[in-house]
Amino acid sequence: MAQYVLSLDQGTTSSRAMLFDHEGKIAGIAQHEFEQKYPNTGWVEHDPIDILTSQLTAAVEVLARAHVRPRDVASIGIANQRETTIVWDRESGKPVYNAIVWQDRRTAEFCSQLRNDGNEEMIRNKTGLLIDPYFSGTKITWILDNVDGARALAEQGKLAFGTVDCWLIWNLTSGKCHITDRTNASRTLLYNIVEDKWDEDLLRLLRIPASMMPEVVWSSQKVGRVTTTLGLGDVEIAGIAGDQQSALFGQMCVNPGDAKNTYGTGCFLLQNIGDTFTLSKERMITTLACTTNQKLQYALEGSVFIGGAVVQWLRDKMQFFEAAPDVEKIAKSVDSSNNVILVPAFTGLGAPHWDPYAGGMIIGLQRSTEIGHIARAALESIAFQVTDVLRAMDSDTDSKMTKLRADGGAAANDMLMQFQADLLGVPVERPAILETTAQGAAYLAGLATGFWDSVEEIGKTRPEGQIFTPKVDRALAEKKYAKWQDAVQRSKGWNKEN
């Protein structure tokens, strides 16, 4: 009898594979980073083969480390970086261009044109999304318009589009399955989340042949078996979700009002709003959430493009320290940021600002400024951005959030979690297992294959996490937040001429 579920967590900077046992605990983990490519200002790309090989290597490695055979694995769940766009040749299986990453801003001008032509209201009413380079649709158009011969091949039905989940499944099944789930489809700017289908009007608007689109399935259902040649045996793929919806499910935010924030490369605050499609008044987006009953469920989402990635920037570009966890020690070397504010608008600003032209900025530097002040300001910038989103979301809903559930790698930082609670003025709960993105994908796959019987059964196995309660005076917190808002306004539109 199978004892584990395998979760493939394909992220922006690394691919991870995790084994979960019946208690929801991690029985094994393997991780491989891969190269980030920046070929032009505001451009971010990955080699799709790097994505695939790093993920397969991690999957095989975790089985070997845990001494687990493929027949001991009940099913595979996949969580993935969303919006990242891959187009490949159906016959050869080879990508026609690098993966254009969700952070990429090259289509900002095209998005401005679409807005100026009066398309935003129509697109919002169909997709729940705003027009922004973040989403997949304009990335596909760019590839078809800029890669030699791509548009002609697409119009002949010879090219396939997919988000990263789709690309992985295509390869895991040797090209037999060209599928994605509803949570990933809802991030493309092409999927009608009210009528539950690829939208002909949107495909026509962005000049994308419908033949490129994958079949859309539910997040928790059996979709196909892995081919044995890939070293994963004949295991069933039964869970698929965009990473943030997977984390929402992994945190068991299954009821309207439940909310979580994932502190990863970016930060993503999602709140379950139930089965009624509702548009935000505060420039949040409406997206599809994971379900196990094959009925549509919606969530409000605020997306922050640079969260934990600001720590990577300090490590790799500024060379302030050698390992990301070192940032907390350096930040603790000073009592405060000493009035330094860092706005990490390296790829523009996401919710609730939606300014693709905003530029990163450090303000408040003095002769006395040390690395510790900048490191502390970097950590604080993550919490400030989450506060921007939560306040906007509170304005959108009938009741204010009384608790925030936190997960993701940066949530391991105690200083960040405490500062977040102080800023918000509400408790922040960190789960015992931070890897809720991978855990959510495992839950979805396990529920589809009978490894777990119900959401209620899963809920009983979840250990209690740690709660950070607000400690600072509210007036002091508001004063600091006002400084942040001032700095953000100064950063807006900085890169418009570039």
Residues making up the annotated binding site for ATP are: 12-14, 265, 308, 312, 409
- Residues making up the annotated binding site for ADP are 12, 16, 265, 308, 409, 413
- Residues making up the annotated binding site for glycerol are 82-83, 134, 243-244
- Residues making up the annotated binding site are 12-14, 16, 82-83, 134, 243-244, 265, 308, 312, 409, 413
Cβ contact 21:27 at 8 Å: yes
Cβ contact 70:28 at 8 Å: no
CA 3 – CA 5 distance, rounded (Å): 7
CA 238 – CA 221 distance, rounded (Å): 5
- Take residue 88 and report the two structure tokens written for it: 């490949």
- Take residue 211 and report the two structure tokens written for it: 């033949």
Cβ contact 221:58 at 8 Å: no
Q: Count other Cβ atoms within 10 Å, centred on residue 148.
A: 7
Would strands 428-430 and 466-468 be described as parallel, antiparallel, or unpaired? antiparallel
CA 201 – CA 203 distance, rounded (Å): 6
CA 465 – CA 462 distance, rounded (Å): 9
Cα–Cα nearest to 143, from 210, 200, 204, 86: 86
- Residues making up the annotated binding site for sn-glycerol 3-phosphate are 12, 82-83, 134, 243
